[in-house]
Protein backbone atom coordinates (compact mmCIF):
# COMPACT_ATOMS: atom_id res chain seq x y z
CA UNK A 1 0.00 0.00 0.00
CA UNK A 2 1.23 3.48 -0.80
CA UNK A 3 1.86 5.99 1.92
CA UNK A 4 -0.77 8.61 2.51
CA UNK A 5 0.24 12.19 1.93
CA UNK A 6 -1.24 15.20 3.64
CA UNK A 7 -0.74 18.62 2.03
CA UNK A 8 -2.33 21.82 3.34
CA UNK A 9 -2.74 25.18 1.59
CA UNK A 10 -2.53 28.34 3.66
CA UNK A 11 -2.45 32.09 3.29
CA UNK A 12 -4.44 35.25 3.97
CA UNK A 13 -7.76 35.74 2.20
CA UNK A 14 -7.19 36.72 -1.43
CA UNK A 15 -3.86 34.87 -1.71
CA UNK A 16 -5.29 32.84 -4.60
CA UNK A 17 -4.53 29.39 -3.20
CA UNK A 18 -7.80 27.78 -4.31
CA UNK A 19 -6.97 27.98 -8.02
CA UNK A 20 -3.72 26.08 -7.39
CA UNK A 21 -5.25 23.22 -5.43
CA UNK A 22 -7.07 21.89 -8.51
CA UNK A 23 -3.92 22.08 -10.64
CA UNK A 24 -1.90 20.13 -8.10
CA UNK A 25 -4.72 17.57 -7.75
CA UNK A 26 -4.66 17.03 -11.53
CA UNK A 27 -0.89 16.59 -11.56
CA UNK A 28 -1.00 14.07 -8.71
CA UNK A 29 -3.84 12.12 -10.34
CA UNK A 30 -1.84 11.98 -13.56
CA UNK A 31 1.00 10.56 -11.48
CA UNK A 32 -1.37 7.76 -10.43
CA UNK A 33 -2.44 8.96 -6.98
CA UNK A 34 -5.95 8.99 -5.56
CA UNK A 35 -6.57 12.56 -4.41
CA UNK A 36 -9.06 13.75 -1.81
CA UNK A 37 -9.81 17.48 -2.02
CA UNK A 38 -11.20 19.04 1.09
CA UNK A 39 -11.26 22.26 3.11
CA UNK A 40 -11.40 23.79 6.57
CA UNK A 41 -13.45 24.81 8.30
CA UNK A 42 -15.63 22.20 6.61
CA UNK A 43 -15.20 18.90 4.81
CA UNK A 44 -18.01 17.04 6.62
CA UNK A 45 -21.72 17.95 6.97
CA UNK A 46 -21.21 18.93 10.63
CA UNK A 47 -18.03 20.90 9.96
CA UNK A 48 -19.70 22.76 7.08
CA UNK A 49 -22.45 23.86 9.49
CA UNK A 50 -19.79 25.03 11.92
CA UNK A 51 -18.16 26.90 9.02
CA UNK A 52 -21.36 28.84 8.37
CA UNK A 53 -21.52 29.87 12.02
CA UNK A 54 -17.84 30.77 12.36
CA UNK A 55 -17.71 32.81 9.16
CA UNK A 56 -20.92 34.76 9.66
CA UNK A 57 -21.82 35.07 13.36
CA UNK A 58 -20.14 37.58 15.65
CA UNK A 59 -18.19 35.87 18.47
CA UNK A 60 -14.99 36.29 20.44
CA UNK A 61 -11.68 34.81 19.33
CA UNK A 62 -11.74 31.91 21.79
CA UNK A 63 -15.21 30.83 20.64
CA UNK A 64 -13.93 30.99 17.07
CA UNK A 65 -10.94 28.82 17.94
CA UNK A 66 -13.12 26.28 19.77
CA UNK A 67 -15.42 26.02 16.75
CA UNK A 68 -12.49 25.68 14.34
CA UNK A 69 -11.04 22.85 16.41
CA UNK A 70 -14.42 21.13 16.80
CA UNK A 71 -14.87 21.23 13.03
CA UNK A 72 -11.29 19.99 12.59
CA UNK A 73 -11.79 17.02 14.89
CA UNK A 74 -14.86 15.85 12.98
CA UNK A 75 -13.09 16.38 9.65
CA UNK A 76 -9.91 14.59 10.75
CA UNK A 77 -11.85 11.61 12.15
CA UNK A 78 -14.19 11.21 9.23
CA UNK A 79 -12.21 12.30 6.18
CA UNK A 80 -8.49 13.00 6.62
CA UNK A 81 -7.51 10.09 8.87
CA UNK A 82 -9.36 7.41 6.85
CA UNK A 83 -8.05 8.78 3.52
CA UNK A 84 -4.43 8.77 4.75
CA UNK A 85 -4.87 5.26 6.15
CA UNK A 86 -5.88 4.12 2.66
CA UNK A 87 -2.76 5.66 1.17
CA UNK A 88 -4.54 8.55 -0.54
CA UNK A 89 -3.29 12.09 -1.04
CA UNK A 90 -5.27 14.63 0.98
CA UNK A 91 -5.14 18.22 -0.31
CA UNK A 92 -6.70 20.41 2.34
CA UNK A 93 -7.55 24.08 1.87
CA UNK A 94 -6.36 25.25 5.33
CA UNK A 95 -5.67 23.24 8.49
CA UNK A 96 -4.36 23.95 12.00
CA UNK A 97 -1.90 26.66 10.89
CA UNK A 98 -4.93 28.78 9.98
CA UNK A 99 -6.13 28.71 13.58
CA UNK A 100 -2.72 29.84 14.83
CA UNK A 101 -2.53 32.54 12.15
CA UNK A 102 -6.10 33.87 12.37
CA UNK A 103 -7.15 33.25 15.97
CA UNK A 104 -3.58 33.50 17.34
CA UNK A 105 -2.05 36.16 15.10
CA UNK A 106 -5.23 37.95 14.01
CA UNK A 107 -7.36 37.75 17.18
CA UNK A 108 -4.45 37.69 19.63
CA UNK A 109 -5.13 34.36 21.35
CA UNK A 110 -2.28 32.87 23.33
CA UNK A 111 -0.08 30.55 21.24
CA UNK A 112 0.36 28.01 24.08
CA UNK A 113 -3.37 27.88 24.67
CA UNK A 114 -3.89 27.08 20.99
CA UNK A 115 -1.25 24.34 21.22
CA UNK A 116 -3.13 22.79 24.14
CA UNK A 117 -6.42 23.02 22.27
CA UNK A 118 -4.78 21.37 19.27
CA UNK A 119 -3.66 18.41 21.39
CA UNK A 120 -7.13 17.99 22.88
CA UNK A 121 -8.97 18.38 19.59
CA UNK A 122 -6.83 15.91 17.66
CA UNK A 123 -6.38 13.42 20.50
CA UNK A 124 -6.43 9.85 19.24
CA UNK A 125 -6.40 10.83 15.58
CA UNK A 126 -2.68 11.15 14.83
CA UNK A 127 -1.96 7.53 15.63
CA UNK A 128 -4.72 6.13 13.42
CA UNK A 129 -3.60 8.25 10.52
CA UNK A 130 0.13 8.05 11.05
CA UNK A 131 0.39 4.31 11.65
CA UNK A 132 0.32 3.83 7.87
CA UNK A 133 1.89 7.15 7.24
CA UNK A 134 5.41 8.39 6.99
CA UNK A 135 7.37 9.43 10.07
CA UNK A 136 4.94 7.44 12.22
CA UNK A 137 5.00 8.78 15.74
CA UNK A 138 2.08 7.83 17.96
CA UNK A 139 2.71 10.77 20.29
CA UNK A 140 2.67 13.44 17.59
CA UNK A 141 -0.42 15.43 16.73
CA UNK A 142 -1.72 15.13 13.17
CA UNK A 143 0.10 17.63 10.93
CA UNK A 144 0.40 17.98 7.18
CA UNK A 145 3.49 16.47 5.54
CA UNK A 146 3.77 19.69 3.57
CA UNK A 147 2.18 23.09 4.03
CA UNK A 148 2.18 25.43 1.04
CA UNK A 149 1.97 28.97 2.39
CA UNK A 150 0.79 31.40 -0.29
CA UNK A 151 2.36 34.59 0.93
CA UNK A 152 1.72 38.07 -0.40
CA UNK A 153 1.28 41.61 0.97
CA UNK A 154 -2.21 42.16 2.43
CA UNK A 155 -2.80 45.21 0.20
CA UNK A 156 -2.31 43.08 -2.92
CA UNK A 157 -4.67 40.42 -1.54
CA UNK A 158 -7.27 43.09 -0.73
CA UNK A 159 -7.15 44.41 -4.30
CA UNK A 160 -7.73 40.91 -5.63
CA UNK A 161 -10.71 40.35 -3.35
CA UNK A 162 -12.33 43.73 -3.98
CA UNK A 163 -15.63 43.35 -5.74
CA UNK A 164 -15.30 39.60 -6.37
CA UNK A 165 -17.94 38.47 -3.84
CA UNK A 166 -19.74 39.48 -0.67
CA UNK A 167 -17.09 39.46 2.06
CA UNK A 168 -17.48 37.09 5.02
CA UNK A 169 -16.54 38.13 8.56
CA UNK A 170 -12.82 37.53 8.00
CA UNK A 171 -12.58 38.97 4.49
CA UNK A 172 -14.13 42.20 5.80
CA UNK A 173 -11.27 42.73 8.29
CA UNK A 174 -8.89 45.69 7.90
CA UNK A 175 -5.36 45.40 6.50
CA UNK A 176 -3.84 45.44 10.01
CA UNK A 177 -5.68 42.20 10.81
CA UNK A 178 -4.17 40.50 7.78
CA UNK A 179 -0.71 41.81 8.63
CA UNK A 180 -1.11 40.06 12.00
CA UNK A 181 -2.37 36.88 10.31
CA UNK A 182 0.58 36.97 7.96
CA UNK A 183 2.94 37.34 10.93
CA UNK A 184 1.19 34.32 12.48
CA UNK A 185 1.96 32.23 9.40
CA UNK A 186 5.58 33.43 9.44
CA UNK A 187 5.84 32.31 13.07
CA UNK A 188 4.43 28.87 12.20
CA UNK A 189 6.98 28.55 9.40
CA UNK A 190 9.81 29.51 11.77
CA UNK A 191 8.63 26.83 14.21
CA UNK A 192 8.49 24.04 11.59
CA UNK A 193 10.57 25.10 8.57
CA UNK A 194 10.89 21.55 7.16
CA UNK A 195 7.11 21.19 6.89
CA UNK A 196 6.59 24.52 5.09
CA UNK A 197 7.16 25.79 1.58
CA UNK A 198 6.65 29.54 1.26
CA UNK A 199 5.15 30.35 -2.13
CA UNK A 200 5.50 33.90 -3.42
CA UNK A 201 1.85 34.48 -4.37
CA UNK A 202 2.51 38.01 -5.63
CA UNK A 203 3.43 36.72 -9.10
CA UNK A 204 1.58 35.70 -12.26
CA UNK A 205 -0.47 32.53 -11.90
CA UNK A 206 1.92 30.43 -14.01
CA UNK A 207 4.91 31.37 -11.85
CA UNK A 208 3.00 30.52 -8.67
CA UNK A 209 1.94 27.20 -10.14
CA UNK A 210 5.55 26.39 -11.07
CA UNK A 211 6.66 27.11 -7.51
CA UNK A 212 3.96 24.82 -6.10
CA UNK A 213 4.99 22.03 -8.44
CA UNK A 214 8.66 22.49 -7.60
CA UNK A 215 7.92 22.23 -3.86
CA UNK A 216 6.09 18.94 -4.37
CA UNK A 217 8.69 17.60 -6.78
CA UNK A 218 11.48 18.47 -4.36
CA UNK A 219 9.92 16.00 -1.93
CA UNK A 220 9.75 13.30 -4.57
CA UNK A 221 5.97 13.16 -4.71
CA UNK A 222 5.62 14.11 -8.38
Nearest approach in angstroms of CB 146 to ligand TMP is: 17
What minimum distance in Å lies between the beta carbon of 178 and ligand TMP?
10
44 vs 99, beta carbon nearer ligand TMP: 99
Beta strands (DSSP E) in 11-143 are 35-39, 89-93
Helix (H) or strand (E) holding 88: none
How far does the chain reach from its first CA to its final CA, in angstroms?
Answer: 17
Question: Please, are residues 56 and 168 in contact by the beta-carbon 8 Å criterion?
Answer: yes
Shortest reach from residue 136's CB to ligand TMP, in Å = 25
Of residues 172 and 210, the one with the C-beta less far from ligand TMP: 172
CA atoms in the 13 A half-sphere facing the CB of 94 = 21
Q: CA 193, CA 148: separation in Å to the nearest integer? A: 11
Q: Which is nearer to ligand TMP, 30 or 164 (CB)?
A: 164
Q: What span, in angstroms and rounded, lies between the C-alpha atoms of 171 and 114?
A: 22
Please say which residue, 31 or 155, places its beta carbon nearer to ligand TMP. Answer: 155
* Positions in the binding site for ligand TMP (CB under 6 A): 13, 39-41, 55, 68, 93-94, 98-99, 102-103, 170
Q: How far apart are CA 101 and CA 99, in angstroms?
A: 5
Residue 107 C-beta: closest distance to ligand TMP, Å = 8
In 10 A of CB 184, how many CB atoms?
27
User: With respect to ligand TMP, which residue has the nearer C-beta, 34 or 160?
Assistant: 160
Which residues share a beta bridge with 90?
A: 6, 36
Compute the least distance from the CB of residue 169 to ligand TMP, in Å: 8
In whole angstroms, what is the distance from residue 56 CA to residue 155 CA?
23
Nearer to ligand TMP, 127 or 170 (CB): 170
- The CB-of-9 to ligand TMP minimum distance in angstroms stands at 9
User: Closest by alpha carbon to 202, among 146, 147, 154?
Assistant: 154
Amino acid sequence: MRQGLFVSFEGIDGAGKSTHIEALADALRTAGRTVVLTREPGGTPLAEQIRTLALHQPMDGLTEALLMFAARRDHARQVIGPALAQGHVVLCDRFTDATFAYQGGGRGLDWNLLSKMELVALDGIAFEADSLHQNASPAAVLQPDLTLWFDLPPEVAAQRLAGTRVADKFEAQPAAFFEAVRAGYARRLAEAPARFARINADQPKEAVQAQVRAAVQARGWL
